[in-house]
C-alpha cells in the first residue's frame, strides 16, 4: 500500500471547530455561504460571479469560506454550517459512503492545467520509485488530480512505493518541494513557475495528457435541492454567466485583477500563468459527466473499497444544466466567448 503521512489529528479537530464557529457566525449574518478546500484557480468562477455582481443579477448574495481540506469542508456541510460546497468529485463520492445524501449539479472546469514537478535528480517516471508526493488531503481535489495524472502515466503508487504526505494547500506544498521536504507535486501552472526557474523539472503537463477530468463543482444536501429548485436554477445561471465572462477575452483585464487580488499575485508572469490556467480549464459544459466521475470512483476506491459501491446516479443531477440548454440560456452565453 502507498505510505500516507498525515498531520496531527488534534490540529485537524481544532481547525474543524474553528471553521464551524466561523461558518455559524457568517450564516447568522445573512450571505449565502459556499465552503471550499483548495485556494487556487479552480475558484475563479465563484470569485468572478461574486465580485462582478453576476450572482446578484439572479437574486443571490454568495460568499465563500475556505476550509483547507475536503473532509473538513464536507463536515461543515453535514453540520449545517454551510448550505453549499464547491467540492471535487473525489470528496463528494467519499462523503456519500458515510451516508450523507448530497447532490452535485454543476461543475466549474473540465481540464487539469497542472504540471508534475519533481526535484533535481529525478529525470524520468522510473526515478519516482520510493519518492514522496505532497497533497492537501487524502481523497480531496489536490490528491485526486495527482492520482489521475499518475494513473494516466501508468504509475501505480503502490507498486512504485510512493509516499503521500498531507502538507497543506498549494503554496505550502510548493514551498515543501522547494525546501526538499517532498520530492514531487502536481502543481498549478502559477505555482510551477518558481520551481521550474530554479532547476526543477516537469515530467508531464496534465492538460496535454487529456486525462478524463472534471474539477470542483457545486454540491448541496439532496433534500435542499428537492425543496428549492428555483434557487438552484438561479445559482446555475450565475455560474454559467461567470464562466462565460472568464472565457470572453475582452474580460481579461478584469479577470486578471480578480486573480491577483485573491491569489495575491504580484508578478506579471504569475498572473499570465494563472490566466492561462483559466482559459484552459473553464467550461460552459457545466453538467457533471458520469463517465468522468466513474473514472474518479475507480481511483478513490483504492483507498476505500466501499466507494466502489456508491451509486453515482444518486449523486449527480444534470437537470438544472439541461434546463439552461433547453431555454437557450447556455447558447446565449456561448455567443459571448471569444
Say whether both 224 and 305 belong to one domain: yes
What is the SS3 string spanning 54-68?
CHHHHCCCEEEEECC
In the chain, % helix, strand, coil (3-state, to 5) comes to: 55, 15, 30
Give the three cell numbers for residue 164.
Answer: 503521500
Q: DSSP 3-state assignment of 161?
A: coil
Which residues, including other chains, have CB under 8 Å from residue 55's CB and lie 6 or more apart? 49, 61, 62, 235, 238, 242
d(CA 213, CA 22): 32
Say whether both 119 and 92 belong to one domain: no
DSSP states along 270-328: HHHHHHHHHHHHB-S--S--HHHHHHHHHHHTTT-GGGGG--GGGTB--HHHHHHHHHT
Say whether both 194 and 292 belong to one domain: no
Of the residues 209, 229, 255, the one at which a domain ends: 209
Identify whether 297 is part of a domain: yes
Q: pLDDT per position in the chain (338 positions), as tens?
A: 455 555 444 444 444 444 444 444 444 335 799 999 888 888 999 999 999 999 999 999 999 999 877 888 999 999 999 999 999 898 899 899 888 999 999 998 888 888 999 999 999 999 999 999 999 888 777 898 899 999 999 999 999 999 999 998 889 999 999 999 999 999 988 789 899 999 999 999 988 887 778 889 999 999 998 899 999 999 999 999 999 999 999 999 999 999 999 988 888 888 888 888 788 889 999 999 999 999 999 998 988 899 999 999 999 999 999 999 999 999 999 999 87
What's the structural domain count of the chain? 2
Of 142, 139, 118, 138, nearest to 130 (Cα)?
118
Say whether both 284 and 311 belong to one domain: yes
Say whether both 151 and 253 belong to one domain: no
d(CA 251, CA 277): 15
Identify whether 2 is part of a domain: no
d(CA 163, CA 335): 46
Identify whether 80 is part of a domain: yes
Query: Can you give the length of the chain in residues?
Result: 338
Say whether both 106 and 225 belong to one domain: yes
CATH code of residue 130: 3.40.190.10
Identify whether 182 is part of a domain: yes
Report strand pairing: 201-205 vs 114-118.
antiparallel
Identify whether 59 is part of a domain: yes
- The per-residue pLDDT for 280 is 82
Say whether both 232 and 187 belong to one domain: no
Predicted TM-score (pTM) of this structure? 0.80
Strand order in the sheet with 132-135: 3-5, 163-166, 132-135, 184-188, 114-118, 201-205
d(CA 135, CA 146): 8
- The per-residue pLDDT for 39 is 85
Say whether both 202 and 236 belong to one domain: no
Q: Which residues pair with 62 in a beta bridge?
A: 32
Identify whether 4 is part of a domain: no
Identify whether 20 is part of a domain: yes
- The per-residue pLDDT for 5 is 57
- Asked whether the beta carbons of 163 and 132 are under 8 A apart, the reply is yes
Of the residues 139, 174, 209, the one at which a domain ends: 209
Of the residues 170, 192, 209, the one at which a domain ends: 209
Say whether both 75 and 122 belong to one domain: no
Identify whether 1 is part of a domain: no
Say whether both 103 and 158 belong to one domain: no
Structural domain harbouring 200: 114-209
Say whether both 131 and 265 belong to one domain: no
For cell 498549494, the residue is 170
d(CA 95, CA 297): 12
* Helix axes of 252-263 and 268-281: crossing angle, nearest 10 degrees: 110
d(CA 71, CA 91): 7
d(CA 304, CA 142): 17
Say whether both 205 and 97 belong to one domain: no
Amino acid at each position: 500500500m502507498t505510505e500516507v503521512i498525515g498531520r496531527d489529528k488534534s490540529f485537524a479537530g481544532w481547525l474543524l471547530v474553528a471553521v464551524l464557529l466561523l461558518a455559524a457566525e457568517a450564516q447568522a449574518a445573512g450571505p449565502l455561504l459556499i465552503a471550499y478546500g483548495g485556494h487556487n484557480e479552480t475558484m475563479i468562477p465563484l470569485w468572478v460571479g461574486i465580485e462582478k455582481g453576476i450572482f446578484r443579477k439572479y437574486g443571490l448574495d454568495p460568499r465563500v469560506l475556505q476550509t483547507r481540506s475536503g473532509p473538513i469542508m464536507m463536515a461543515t456541510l453535514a453540520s449545517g454550517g454551510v448550505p453549499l460546497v464547491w467540492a471535487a468529485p473525489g470528496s463528494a463520492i467519499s462523503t456519500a459512503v458515510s451516508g450523507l445524501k448530497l447532490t452535485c449539479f454543476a461543475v466549474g472546469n473540465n481540464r487539469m492545467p497542472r504540471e508534475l514537478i519533481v526535484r533535481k535528480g529525478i529525470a524520468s517516471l522510473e526515478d519516482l520509485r520510493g519518492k514522496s508526493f505532497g497533497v492537501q488531503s487524502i481523497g480531496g481535489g489536490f490528491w485526486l488530480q495527482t492520482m489521475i495524472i499518475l494513473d494516466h502515466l501508468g504509475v501505480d503508487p503502490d507498486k512504485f512505493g510512493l509516499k503521500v504526505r498531507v502538507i497543506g494547500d498549494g503554496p505550502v506544498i510548493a514551498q515543501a518541494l522547494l525546501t526538499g521536504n517532498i520530492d514531487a507535486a502536481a502543481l498549478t501552472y502559477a505555482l510551477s513557475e518558481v520551481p521550474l526557474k530554479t532547476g526543477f523539472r516537469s515530467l508531464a503537463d496534465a492538460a496535454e495528457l487529456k486525462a478524463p477530468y472534471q474539477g470542483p463543482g457545486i454540491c448541496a444536501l439532496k433534500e435542499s435541492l428537492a425543496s428549492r429548485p428555483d434557487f438552484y436554477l438561479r445559482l446555475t445561471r450565475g455560474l454559467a454567466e461567470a464562466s462565460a465572462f472568464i472565457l470572453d477575452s475582452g474580460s481579461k483585464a478584469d479577470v486578471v485583477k480578480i486573480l491577483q487580488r485573491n491569489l495575491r499575485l504580484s508578478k506579471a508572469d504569475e498572473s499570465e500563468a494563472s490566466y492561462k490556467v483559466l482559459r484552459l480549464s473553464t467550461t460552459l459544459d457545466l453538467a457533471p459527466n458520469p463517465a468522468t466521475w466513474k473514472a474518479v470512483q475507480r481511483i478513490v476506491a483504492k483507498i476505500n473499497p466501499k466507494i466502489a459501491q456508491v451509486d453515482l446516479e444518486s449523486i449527480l443531477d444534470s437537470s438544472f444544466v439541461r434546463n439552461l440548454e433547453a431555454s437557450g440560456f447556455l447558447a446565449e452565453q456561448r455567443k459571448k466567448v471569444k
